[in-house]
Amino acid sequence: MTAAEARLVEQRSYPVPAGFAATANVTGEAYGEAEKDPIAFWERAAQRLDWAQPWETPLEWQPPTEAAGPSARWFSGGRLNVAVNCVDRHVLAGRGDKVALHFEGEPGDRTTVTYADLQGRVAQAANALIALGIRAGDRVVVYLPVLVETVVITLACARIGAVHSLVFGGFSAEAVRFRLADTGARLLVTSDGQFRRGSATEVKSTADAAAADLPDLEHVLVLRRTGQDVPWTDGRDVWWHDAVDTASTHHEAEAFDAEHPLFIIYTSGTTGKPKGLVHTSGGYLTHASWAHWAHFDAKPDDVHWCTADLAWVTAHTYEIYGPLSNGLTQVIYEGTPDTPHRERHLEIIERYGVTVYYTAPTLIRTFMTWFGADLPHGHDLSTLRLLGTVGEAINPEAWVWFRRNFGRDELPVVDTWWQSETGAAMIAPLPGATTLKPGSASIPLPGIDATVVDEHGAEVAPGRSGTLVVRRPWPGMARTVWGDPDRYRSAYWASYAGHGEWGGFYVAGDGATRDADGYIWILGRLDDVVNVSGHRLSTIEIESALVAHDTVGEAGTAGVSDPVTGQAVVAFVTPSGRSHVSAADLRGEVARAIGPVAKPKHVVVVPDLPKTRSGKIMRRLLAQLWEAEQDRRAGRDAAPLGDTTSLQNPWAVDDIAAVLADAELRTS
């Protein structure tokens, strides 16, 4: 991509508020300290945790080779218990009466759980797991919505050394079955049903289909949530209220090696089977706890709300392990943001006095389509002191709208770039030290060496695009792909093995560029780049130009086959509801913002865009749907769409296919 094609059009910036600078947990000095000795920096971060046995060696590192991926062992010889660090130590410090969780169910039921309450519940669940035969190293798959019990069983697994793998409660039987089989799980934890979009949906039958005839699976632990009648397998199925609620509230926790596996989290995609990324205990918790404390400037009186589903890695790090390790109060909400009405999130922020609100650009853009230029009146959001975004690069206009409407045009917006593979945030501003630029996650956090390189591994000049890489090991990094170490090597390390001081770069899979100040701008997945007549165009940049138009609420772009230019840009847009969407106006907007070469050849107005649970738009799926329609019109068999089980809104696929089948709407 040429410098002109990758040029940055965003010129706005926002300095650090004086109040944050004066009281910040982490100041700008941390960058220099970490760069001087990054290993010592992470050792200091690890000392924020309670260790039953101190480590002997902070890092043992073997770089990747042509035959094997890297080997990283952080805090070798150290032993700790992750659940103790998240619960027990706060109770022992006299903070047992502090609220750990404010739970709000979609129907309106509410529960408040203190740290002392949470300690007792986790002990009960740990004892129940042991009674069911679960031991350290065994895998447990958790197929539940956002509930207090989901947090409890997750921490109970960590407490006894079992390896948990959380699965979104709306996934299909096929998706759950794959994870059960791949991990060799001995236990599945699920519910009779769940509340979703205003109705009670039975779930147990889906869990049964997923669990059928798996040789390693011994029990299904079932939580009664909706009270529905469900099928039952005697000898295998166990009610939560029989096994957990009757167990002892006392449990002696054992310390585990720092490299003991903590959880397996699966990536999603439209092609290939999901990858089960393995995160370990000491390094992951060090990174998660420090990053949460640093870039959210976490204070003891914060009420933190991360809106992610608990099965997403964002929730692992910023809804379970990060905030709880730092002893904060949190809000967790079971339902969707428009049930029973579109102001539900505003009500929740006001009800619990939320101070830190961390959500996805997808939801922010949805709010823009719902509410227009201003939020509805009648909700007091004055307790908010900091905002955060996660999921994919946020469009500058959405960033500014979020800051103005939720942040009173004065609060920092902490845009975070990271992945399931990285464990916690890698690129994010420090609210007490970093000037903010809408659309950029800013610069790498202290202790992280992330940059943009060319095909030879050399750092690109400002304004040029390249591949986003991490050049130095970090504590939260995934150690391998479960059962497939070669896939870990080939997917993330093979491209730049042997490069740099540490003998290899981690390849994030994202294209990016750097500006003159060193700020990193994510341009989208490397395989989402569109090549029009030899010009490589960023999907994120085109989408940002489209969303800047006041008729567009959200946009997803993809490259599709074109007989003249090789590829053409097709833009799928959801309207903001303010006026009619004009394809000509949108093409003109893109031409002005980027250049005529980036103009979409086709503009398709759709009701929704397909997204993963992390809020990422499935651009490859958009291209596949377009090509499938062309095949249908030509009388050819369409290629299969691939894995769509990880979508948060699978109905969007059929809706888009129906729109594409209408010739007038396709090109209007």
SS (H, E, C) 139-194: EEEEEECCCHHHHHHHHHHHHHCCEEEEEECCCCHHHHHHHHHHHCCCEEEEECEE
Hey, which bits of 281-355 come out as E strands? 303-306, 329-333
H or E element: which one contains 522?
A: strand 520-525
Give the span between the Cα atoms of 153 and 376, in whole angstroms.
Answer: 38
Please report the pLDDT score of residue 645 as a whole number: 65
> Given a cut of 50, is residue 665 above it in pLDDT?
no
139-166 residue pLDDT tens:
999 999 999 999 999 999 999 999 999 9
> Given a cut of 80, is residue 230 above it in pLDDT?
yes
* Percent share of the chain, pLDDT over 90: 77
The CA-atom distances, in angstroms, between 556 and each of 267, 345, 395, 582, 587 are 20, 25, 12, 16, 14
Yes or no: say if 327 and 92 are a contact pair by the CB < 8 Å rule. Answer: no
Please report the pLDDT score of residue 3 as a whole number: 35
Average pLDDT, the chain: 92
Kindly indicate the confidence band of residue 529, based on its pLDDT and cuts at 50, 70 and 90: confident
* More confident position, 391 or 329: 329
Give the DSSP per-residue string, 12-56: --BPPPHHHHHH-SS-THHHHHHHH-HHHHHHHHHTTS--SB--S
Q: Using H for helix, E for strand and C for coil, what is the string for 560-600?
A: EEECCCEEEEEEEEEECCCCCCCHHHHHHHHHHHCCHHHCC
Tokens of 268: 């999603």
Kindly indicate the confidence band of residue 272, based on its pLDDT and cuts at 50, 70 and 90: low
Please report the pLDDT score of residue 663 as a whole number: 57
Kindly indicate the confidence band of residue 555, based on its pLDDT and cuts at 50, 70 and 90: very high
Domains, in order of start, for the chain:
82-254 (3.40.50.12780), 529-667 (3.30.300.30)
Kindly indicate the confidence band of residue 301, based on its pLDDT and cuts at 50, 70 and 90: very high
Please report the pLDDT score of residue 32 as a whole number: 96
Q: What is the mean pLDDT of residues 621-646?
A: 84
> Given a cut of 60, is residue 8 above it in pLDDT?
no
Kindly indicate the confidence band of residue 646, based on its pLDDT and cuts at 50, 70 and 90: low
Residue labelled with tokens 């391998």:
480
Radius of gyration of the chain (CA): 24
47-103 residue pLDDT tens:
999 999 999 999 999 999 989 999 999 999 999 999 999 999 999 999 999 999 999
Give the span between the Cα atoms of 132 and 240, in whole angstroms.
Answer: 12
Kindly indicate the confidence band of residue 1, based on its pLDDT and cuts at 50, 70 and 90: very low
243-271 residue pLDDT tens:
999 999 999 999 999 999 999 999 864 44
Kindly indicate the confidence band of residue 642, based on its pLDDT and cuts at 50, 70 and 90: low
The winner for highest mean pLDDT among 422-436, 559-573, 590-604 is 422-436
Closest CA to 106 of 333, 352, 354: 333
Q: What is the mean pLDDT of residues 271-288?
A: 91
- Compute the Cα dihedral for 388, 389, 393, 399 and give only its sign: negative
Q: What is the mean pLDDT of residues 281-290?
A: 98
Please report the pLDDT score of residue 613 as a whole number: 67
